[in-house]
Amino acid sequence: MSLALATLLYEWRRYMAAVVALAFSGLLVLAQVGIFVGIGKGFTAQIDRASADIMVLAPGAKALFSGPQGLPRRFIPLVYSHPEVTQVAPLDFSGGRFQNILTPEQQVKAQAAAKKGGKGGGPGGGTRKSEFVNLTVIDAIPGYVTVPTDYSPSMIEALRRPFAVAVDDTALKRLGVKKGDKALYNGKTVYVAVVTHGYPNIIQPMLVVSRDTLRMLGEADTGQRVGPLMVKISDPSRAEIVAAQLNKKGEGKFRAWTRQELADANASSMLDDQIIGIILGFSAFLGLLIGVIITWQTLRGAIMANIKEFASLRALGVSMGDLRNIVLELSFWVGIVGVLAAGLLTWVVSLVAAAGGVPMAFPPLLIVVVAIFLIVIAMLSGFLSLGVLKNSQPADLLR
């Protein structure tokens, strides 16, 4: 074991501040990116988990909700004409105002509460809620390309009935409904037929309806243009090849994405957003600054504490360059431990967030970038600390 590593392990208390600073720098960046990506995933979760192997988007689309979206309806048969394509269905979205409907008893309670001047309802949640919601469709056919793979046949069965909607359990409270309740969506009566689990969205609650219900609500795409196409093929492992063949067939009029390709693009499109980019850039800068300063001062102090030992190595003829290497190696190991600590901390935070209904998602590339970022902070601190080695004057030991 090297001197640097042995020192770090044995005198870990001395280096704790640096490791903690690095861990929090990492957490600062990771948690924010995780939340933003998680928010993005909230909008696409239902599509991400559908059994579509390929998605066909308009040319120039950078992600599902970024860039031009719709396609001419005539592309549906064009995509179908590929021999390996088994199902094609357009995505359809809508959105509108969702209001809960109170029972007469709840209304009386709500009025009484309003008279008392108290905010919110009593237990049982009998308050009037009005929220804007996002609506996506599925084809209420078991195993169909638009249906998320974790929907059970009974859920699909329930959604097949007219005006049935699915609500995620994390949105129930916000919408003021429970399973079986009636509610108003854009002024039309719907009822909560299905409660899903694992589709949180902290920005806007998501509702899922069948394509037929959407049509009955009068909001389905029935014209020349349709939403992105979800495509199922006979052999999912050939998705990349088929997507390439479809692209050739489309001659640039559309672009076929594999599911993974689109999911990655969706995750990073969130980070392309200007405001989010600025927030992240700023917190990365803060993380860098705080990380470097604390790590630098900690390393400095720790090296000063061993300066006599370093000086004795100098006396024995170990060159300044070798001592610098020891310090840089030490910084590197501090960085590695910092990365591990940041990972642990972020994991704990993401568990807490998930328990609170706030989903976080961490693209692997992000984790690699943050890990490198932390090691750069540690190494930078190491370079700054090299100055203290000037104090390792072996002649000072002779007094």
Partner 1 sequence: MSSGDNAHKRGETALKATHLVKRFKTGRSYIEVLKGVDFDAKHGDVTMVMGPSGSGKSTLVAALSGLLKPDEGKVSALEASDLWSLSNGKIDKFRLDHCGFIFQGFNLFPALSAKQQVMTALKYQGVGKGEQARRAQAALESVGLGARVNQRPSELSGGEKQRVAIARALAKNPNLIFADEPTSALDGENGQIVIRLLREAASVRGAAVICVTHDPRLEAYADRVIHIEDGRILDDVRRTPDADPAPFSH
Residue 127 or 393: which CB sits closer to partner 1? 393
User: Site residues for partner 1, window 68-107 (CB under 8 A)?
Assistant: none
Instruction: Write the burial class of residue 245 (CB in 10 Å: 0-12 exposed, 13-18 middle, 19+ buried).
Output: middle
Q: CB of residue 22 vs partner 1: minimum separation in angstroms?
A: 20
182: left (phi over 0), alpha (psi -120 to 50) or beta: beta
Judge whether 147 and 50 are in contact, CB under 8 Å: yes
Q: What are the residues facing 135 on neighbouring strands? A: 94, 207
Residue 7 or 87: which CB sits closer to partner 1? 7
User: Site residues for partner 1, window 294-323 (CB under 8 A)?
Assistant: 306, 308-309, 311-320, 322
Q: Does 392 bind partner 1 (CB under 8 A)?
A: no
Instruction: Write the burial class of residue 235 (CB in 10 Å: 0-12 exposed, 13-18 middle, 19+ buried).
Output: exposed
Q: Does 399 bind partner 1 (CB under 8 A)?
A: yes
User: Site residues for partner 1, window 322-341 (CB under 8 A)?
Assistant: 322
- Rounded to whole angstroms, the maximal C-alpha distance in the chain is 94
Candidate ranges 101-109, 157-165, 372-380, 387-395; the one touching partner 1 (CB under 8 A) = 387-395
CA angle 362, 354, 27 (to 5 degrees): 45
Q: Does 398 bind partner 1 (CB under 8 A)?
A: yes
d(CA 118, CA 391): 68
HSE value, Cβ hemisphere, 13 Å, CA-based, for 69: 10
Residue 311 or 358: which CB sits closer to partner 1? 311
**Size of interface with partner 1, in residues (CB under 8 A):** 27
Residue 357 or 394: which CB sits closer to partner 1? 394
Residue 9 or 344: which CB sits closer to partner 1? 9
d(CA 47, CA 63): 13
Q: Does 365 bind partner 1 (CB under 8 A)?
A: no
User: Site residues for partner 1, window 10-39 (CB under 8 A)?
Assistant: 10-11
Instruction: Please identify which residue in 184, 384, 388, 397 interacts with partner 1, judged by CB under 8 A.
Output: 397
Interface residue list for partner 1 (CB under 8 A)? 1, 3, 6-7, 9-11, 306, 308-309, 311-320, 322, 393-395, 397-399
